[in-house]
Structure 1
Amino acid sequence: MSVTVASVSANFTRDLEQNYALIAQLLDDARDRGTELVAFPEAAIGGYLSSLGNHGDTVKSTRRSLPPAIRLDGPEIARVQELAGDTVVTIGFCELDDDGETRYNAAVCLDGGTVYGSYRKVHQPLGENMSYSAGSEYRAFDTPVGRLGMQICYDKAFPEAARMLALDGAEIVVSMSAWPAARTATAEDLQDDRWTYRFNQFDIARALDNQVFWIASNQSGTFGSLRYVGNAKVVDPGGNVLATTLLGAGLAVAEIDVDETFRAMRGGMFHLRDRRPDVYGAIAEADARHVNGWRELAHA
């Protein structure tokens, strides 16, 4: 059975009313095209951080610039559910933990009646840990459009993250980002920027590694010191880009048939089946031996 999916490239700010209006507009556009799943970017509710690196936002020094902290069961998520209706939506936000203090870069998958799953970003780049705590779990879950897993931005650089979801049965992986252009030696044409190139290559590689449908959303435009690269896309299990926004804002829409595509793509060379876990134990052993040394190098 085929379903139509859409990935969003758009600019979201601290203005929640602007965010909701944009979400509503994009959902209307997607529904007009028969879309059943819409993937919004990282931090689509309340915007992302205004900068990264040594001058990143911190709770203590730049409280006013931080995204609003939202509870998973709060009115902000409920409002997105109202807008979603029968459409399955994945969307990023800043989650406030039950302790009332701890913040996570998070995402939720929902429709008007159900929250299907949530995720807290595990991998943190360039000082993001000054603003957010890290998550610790990858888990797939069932939705009306198939078994789905979620990642956020830098997660896509780690093959293990996508593999964990694939091994948990994910047929579709949604990778939500606020992925910027390079901070130095930025290309005049952002489509040629080296960070745009990496963003696109990771999407293709992770889809092909795990033979899953990969839906990559991203912020576009600018926010604070960050200039986003867009390039929302839908990639099939063979690493083929079915639809992309390139640098522009809007929707990348594609019709996918999970069962039929999996039969074709996995009928011969099936990467998950053909793994050799008995050979991979050295990976965990190497982590235990070298992680402290890597940390020392990173802070040298």
Structure 2
Amino acid sequence: MKELKIGFLQLHNTADVANNIKRLTEGITDLAQRGAELIVLQELHNSLYFCQVEEVGNFDLAEPVPGPSTDHYGALARELKVVIVASLFERRAPGLYHNTAVVFEKDGSIAGKYRKMHIPDDPAYYEKFYFTPGDLGFHPIDTSVGRLGVLVCWDQWYPEAARLMALQGAEILIYPTAIGYESSDSSDEQQRQREAWTTVMRGHAVANGLPVVAVNRIGHEPDPSGQTNGIQFWGSSFVAGPQGELLYRACDDDEESTIVSIDLHHSEQVRRWWPFLRDRRIDKYTDITRRFID
């Protein structure tokens, strides 16, 4: 058995960036003191989810990587001797920005980063206005707690992304997330969407024989434009095992600070039972790179 204690913070966000970082710092410290070895944070955790509107001034929230936030979370990882998966608004160059996950090693160094590849553009999720699609590809990040397949939010709907991480030896799939309910949808429709979100990632766990960690934010964030009623983020952060089994699922209406233990060696046994990688017909998948087959 190779046990790994994974901690995550499901938090609400405010317009006060300093206060958000303060609460994150307190939460990370508490999780580390309770025994977490790997701590995963939600998507764009330093601020409100600013993509509800197309506003040029919001680019001021971005910062370089490395930069102030990487200095802060790196120092925290070093002090607490934990691996941290953070999610930042990266200013790469003037006019060039990314939605970037940064992984910090226990010594505070940057173990690696991943730039979000799939960028949505939907009402209240105007991410294409802000984020250039990632150019680092789908590559796991090696850390002292394992090889982490880090992806971000909208990436979670794409089996190709999860598969490419698995094919390169990822031991866990990790998804920092910001997703919630549209207020005009019926309660039934809202629940269908939340269950679809959970189900698709549990499917990635099954198809690849890997545990999955998804960390979402919680709470209501208003639409600054007033065109919608804002987003009610649905929380429901979870950890699933390599057969898709739910090891833990957070609530959909409150903050949570949780540690879940997983056995990384169990994936080996599951893949022996279900050898999906062995039976892939890689000689017949050439059309997968086409947009659509007419």
Q: TM-score, normalised by structure 1?
A: 0.86
**What is the aligned counterpart of 2:291 among 287, 293, 298?**
287
Q: CA deviation at 1:45?
A: 2.1
Structure 1 72/65 Cα, relative in aligned 2: closer, same or farther at 3 Å? closer
Q: CA deviation at 1:11?
A: 1.7
Q: CA deviation at 1:50?
A: 4.7
Indicate whether 1:28 and 2:32 are aligned: no
**Residue matched to 1:257:** 263
Distance 1:67 1:153 in 2: 22
**Residue matched to 1:105:** 99
**Residue matched to 1:143:** 143
* Matched residues, number: 277
What RMSD, in angstroms, separates the aligned Cα atoms of the two structures?
2.0
Structure 1 186/145 Cα, relative in aligned 2: closer, same or farther at 3 Å? farther
Cα deviation per residue 1:173-203 (whole Å; 9 max; x = unaligned)?
A: 1101001113531428x9x622211221122
Q: Is contact 1:20–1:80 with CA below 8 Å preserved after alignment?
A: no
Q: CA deviation at 1:282?
A: 2.5
Cα deviation per residue 1:219-260 (whole Å; 9 max; x = unaligned)?
A: 11122312101011111111011112121311342111212x
What is the one-letter code of the residue matched to 2:156? K
Distance 1:39 1:67 in 2: 25
Alignment of 1:109-258 (within 5 A): 109-111=103-105, 112-125=107-120, 126=122, 127-136=126-135, 137-187=137-187, 193-224=191-222, 225-247=230-252, 248-258=254-264
Residue 48 of structure 2 aligns to a residue whose secondary structure is: coil
Residue 30 of structure 1 aligns to a residue whose secondary structure is: helix
Task: Extract unaligned runs of 5+ from structure 1.
Answer: 52-56, 291-300
Task: Extract unaligned runs of 5+ from structure 2.
Answer: 223-229
**Residue matched to 2:86:** 91
Structure 1 164/67 Cα, relative in aligned 2: closer, same or farther at 3 Å? farther
Residue 22 of structure 2 aligns to a residue whose secondary structure is: helix
Percent identity, aligned pairs only? 26
Structure 1 65/206 Cα, relative in aligned 2: closer, same or farther at 3 Å? same
**What is the aligned counterpart of 1:78 among 71, 75, 83?**
71
Q: TM-score, normalised by structure 2?
A: 0.88
**Residue matched to 1:298:** none
Q: CA deviation at 1:13?
A: 3.5
Alignment of 1:2-81 (within 5 A): 2-51=3-52, 57-58=53-54, 62-66=55-59, 68-81=61-74
